[in-house]
Structure 1
Amino acid sequence: MQLPRVKIQFLNGQLGTVGESPDGLMALICGASAVAGKLELNTVYRVTSPDDLTALGVTETNNATLYKQVKEFYDEAESGTKLILYPVSANMKVTELCDYTKTSEGFARDLITRQNGALRGIGVAGLNAGSTAASANGLDPDVFTALPKAQQLAEWATSELYAPLFFVLEGRNYDASKELKDLTEEKYNRVCVVIGDTVKDSKGACMGTLLGRIASIPVQRNIGRVKDGSLFPLEMYVGAKKIEESGNTISAIFENGYIVPRKHVGRSGYYFADAPMACDPTDDYAYMPSRRVIDKAYRISYDTMLEELLDELELNEDGTLQHAVVKSWQQTLENAINRQMTAGGELSATDGEGCKCHIDARQDVVSTSKIVVTLKVRPHGYSRYIDVNLGFLVTTV
């Protein structure tokens, strides 16, 4: 016998693809050094501006990586935006940090548990700092071994805590002379990897800039949207070269499924090329906006259906749900999604409706005590490829 519960499963293959908002609450797990009497490792800190680092005793001198990432987060996001900091030993490997079986302080699972389901995404930077080697696949081997661990941990948070989230990993020790591992052949749709930084020859990546952009936009918004304007940094690099000098390299990085900055001809500043997750592009959740949209719908669905758990249900003589009950449940769930998502432009809508709920009235509830609910939300499309056919308008005689 199982505990009464609400269970939500993600549908896949549906797309046919060949102010302070809790939706943007990000955490930064970063390699750091303790500051006596102020900053302790393996401890959760909530900051809302770079000034909060002063109270923690964090400076560019004693914690260069942590200082840089937080400053760049607030260069991108407005002061007042909440960021959860979790400083850990810089010598820890990302693979170990994300290990689902590690439950003690200093590991990602501990942070997730402490935040009681509030986190929407976790960025990891400045770890395995003692390693300077890149594998034959172009990055620190620790990045690739951490991918399945981070995916498993994110799935655990989803199924056990009803708190779906995603991980952003730092593409550490990037080596442009080696061919990158192709992440489009993987299956980690809750993990992405960013390459490129705001300093030359960096061993890390622009995690603060990326998390700041995510935290400042709605769930359906692409981090590379041109209308939102360029990123804050005045200079960005991939390895030793500026982004504008690395056209072919940027294309190769992106085609292999990584998040990377780019330039647009005719526009000043830098933009993220797109927001791929480390998985097959035909996966319904292959891009961060889809991941964030479906995760928000998940949270709303769980909260709405939890209210119905163990409630009395009016049944027909054959043990199936009465029509009025079916319609009531469908309307309740659709209203919740439309009120909290469609009305804010987070779903594509027709007459204010951006989702559809279906409950098969023929289910034998009296025998199974189980009700299967199918909810589908309508995502936005994204203009990734625009072709303009240009020619002369001429009338010939």
Structure 2
Amino acid sequence: MALPKISIKFLTGQLGTVAESQDGLLALVCGGTAVSETFKLNTPYTIYRLTGLEELGVTKENNAGLYKMVQEFYQEAEEGTKVVVYAVAKTTKMTDLCDKDSGPLRGLLQIQKGELRALVIARDPDAEEVEATEGLDPDVFTALPKAQALAEWATTELYAPIFIALEGRSYKDAESLKDLSDGEDNRVCIVIGDTESASEGAAMGIFAGRVASSPVQRNIGRVRDGSLYPTVMYIGENTVEDSMDDVATIYDKGYITPRIHVGRSGYFYTDDRLCVDPTDDYAHIAHRRVIDKACRIAYDTLLDYFLDEVYVNQDGTMQAGILKSLQAAVEGAINSSMTANGELSADTSAGESGATCYIDPTQNVLATSTIKMTLKVRPYGYARQIDVELGFDVQTNS
């Protein structure tokens, strides 16, 4: 019989903090104004709810654009979701921001030590006169290749792959909009559409909140996840409901906008397109996020083998046991982190693997000091088109 005592069990999960996942860690970048010593420009701040921004002294009055961006982020993402806020001078163009050699975002990525998965960029300039070119502020299009180069730099130099979302500023009309469907920027997307009529900007906080709330394999336009938070959204001056013909044109040209679905209330994203030819393997954010996560896992796993001794045969090839062990380590790391979580397309109940690693056993590692391997992961397909043949089921008497 146990000694009589009082047992107290400490409860967890009572503070409303979301279980932290780095997969959805984004940086919200926006033009802003410093607030005394509590909020400085070109300085990252990590917050978990809108009150975290307010505690830094940021308000609707002193930083309207940034406040709107964060407020809408937490309307779409659950409170407790971690996000990095980074304000720059309001005069800073997106082209200058994204320059990998001279822009401040390079430093932001380095300070965050590879933890960020995406940069979501908006502006809030004071009384700026902009003449739209090819449907948008020309700064958007000059920033596009810069953003791609910055994301590629983060991938190759920091081993921290990211994608970048640019605000489709100063949208005027769909017909004159530049066609990006034959582009090459498969790490950048452009978002059009706002919660305010005739806005010069876009609802980048809503977009960021949906990305942060979605697992890496999830299309942000998935209807089953429910509509976006706003009760009214606009494409330029008109509501989305009145702009559906334009929405189709904008989508064909490679942009992301809100849309409506007949029979469903609210707004949904058209898709998750990146600014690249749609036949590119990484033409969509979901595929980009999946392959980037696999890249991070593979790098982290292989780092343990870097400059390690490799047992070889007399001809310089790897011994079979070592080769199989290395393959298994990479596959196992990805499968335990991704396949088991439903982020790769595999039937786990049947013992299927979502990742396959192959190392050529004939390569001479002793002579080259190089191990070449091929790593492939199996993504999901997406039902972008559903074709139905509908008719009457009747029998006729002949």
Give me the TM-score of the superposition, normalised by structure 2. 0.93
State the alpha-carbon separation in 2 of the partners of residues 254 and 134 from structure 1. 23
| Residue number in structure 1 paired with 2:169 | 172
Q: Would you say the 8 A contact 1:94–1:127 is kept in 2? A: no
The structure-2 alpha-carbon separation of the partners of 1:25 and 1:183, relative to structure 1 and needing over 3 Å to count, comes to same
| Residue number in structure 2 paired with 1:375 | 375
Shift of 1:374: 0.4
Task: Tell me which amino acid in the other structure corresponds to 1:393.
Answer: D
| Residue number in structure 1 paired with 2:226 | 229
| Residue number in structure 2 paired with 1:388 | 388
Within the alignment, does 1:46 sit opposite 2:46 as a pair? Answer: yes
State the alpha-carbon separation in 2 of the partners of residues 214 and 172 from structure 1. 20
**Which residue of 264, 269, 278 corresponds with 2:266?**
269
Please give the residue correspondences for 1:43-122 in structure 2 after superposition, counting only pairs within 5 Å: 43-102=43-102, 107-122=104-119
State the alpha-carbon separation in 1 of the partners of residues 203 and 109 from structure 2. 23
State the alpha-carbon separation in 2 of the partners of residues 134 and 347 from structure 1. 44
Task: Tell me which amino acid in the other structure corresponds to 2:82.
Answer: K
State the alpha-carbon separation in 2 of the partners of residues 230 and 392 from structure 1. 33
State the alpha-carbon separation in 2 of the partners of residues 131 and 195 from structure 1. 19
Give 3-state SS (helix, strand or coil) of 1:80's partner.
coil
Please give the residue correspondences for 1:1-397 in structure 2 after superposition, counting only pairs within 5 Å: 19-102=19-102, 107-127=104-124, 130-176=127-173, 179-350=176-347, 351-397=351-397
State the alpha-carbon separation in 2 of the partners of residues 51 and 91 from structure 1. 26
State the alpha-carbon separation in 1 of the partners of residues 268 and 310 from structure 2. 53
| Ranges of 4+ aligned residues in structure 1 off by more than 6 Å | none
Q: Would you say the 8 A contact 1:98–1:150 is kept in 2? A: yes
Task: Tell me which amino acid in the other structure corresponds to 2:252.
Answer: E
Shift of 1:352: 3.5
Shift of 1:136: 3.0
State the alpha-carbon separation in 2 of the partners of residues 127 and 88 from structure 1. 10
Give 3-state SS (helix, strand or coil) of 2:181's partner.
helix
| Residue number in structure 2 paired with 1:13 | none
Give 3-state SS (helix, strand or coil) of 2:392's partner.
coil
Give 3-state SS (helix, strand or coil) of 1:183's partner.
coil
| Residue number in structure 2 paired with 1:14 | none
Task: Tell me which amino acid in the other structure corresponds to 2:240.
Answer: I
State the alpha-carbon separation in 1 of the partners of residues 220 and 137 from structure 2. 25
Task: Tell me which amino acid in the other structure corresponds to 2:21.
Answer: S
Task: Tell me which amino acid in the other structure corresponds to 1:287.
Answer: H
Q: Would you say the 8 A contact 1:94–1:128 is kept in 2? A: no
> How much identity, in percent, do the aligned residues show?
55
Shift of 1:134: 3.7
Q: Would you say the 8 A contact 1:23–1:120 is kept in 2? A: yes
Task: Tell me which amino acid in the other structure corresponds to 1:161.
Answer: L
Per-residue CA distance 1:177-204 (angstroms, 9 max, x = gap): 7511111111000000000001111100
Give 3-state SS (helix, strand or coil) of 1:353's partner.
coil
Shift of 1:110: 1.1
Give 3-state SS (helix, strand or coil) of 1:251's partner.
helix
Shift of 1:135: 3.2
Give 3-state SS (helix, strand or coil) of 1:168's partner.
strand
Task: Tell me which amino acid in the other structure corresponds to 1:377.
Answer: V
Structure number with greater CO (CA < 8 Å, separation at least 6) is 1
Shift of 1:37: 2.7
Per-residue CA distance 1:207-232 (angstroms, 9 max, x = gap): 00000000011000000000000000
How many equivalent pairs are there? 376
Shift of 1:52: 1.1
State the alpha-carbon separation in 1 of the partners of residues 355 and 116 from structure 2. 25
**Structure 1, gaps ≥5 residues long:** 1-18
Give 3-state SS (helix, strand or coil) of 1:142's partner.
helix
State the alpha-carbon separation in 2 of the partners of residues 237 and 266 from structure 1. 20
State the alpha-carbon separation in 2 of the partners of residues 24 and 43 from structure 1. 20
State the alpha-carbon separation in 2 of the partners of residues 273 and 166 from structure 1. 18
Q: Would you say the 8 A contact 1:92–1:127 is kept in 2? A: no
Per-residue CA distance 1:71-117 (angstroms, 9 max, x = gap): 000001010001101110111110011111116xxx11111111000
Task: Tell me which amino acid in the other structure corresponds to 1:163.
Answer: A
Q: Would you say the 8 A contact 1:348–1:379 is kept in 2? A: yes
Shift of 1:128: 5.2
Give the superposed CA RMSD: 1.1
State the alpha-carbon separation in 2 of the partners of residues 132 and 182 from structure 1. 24
Decide which moves more: 270-279 or 317-326.
317-326
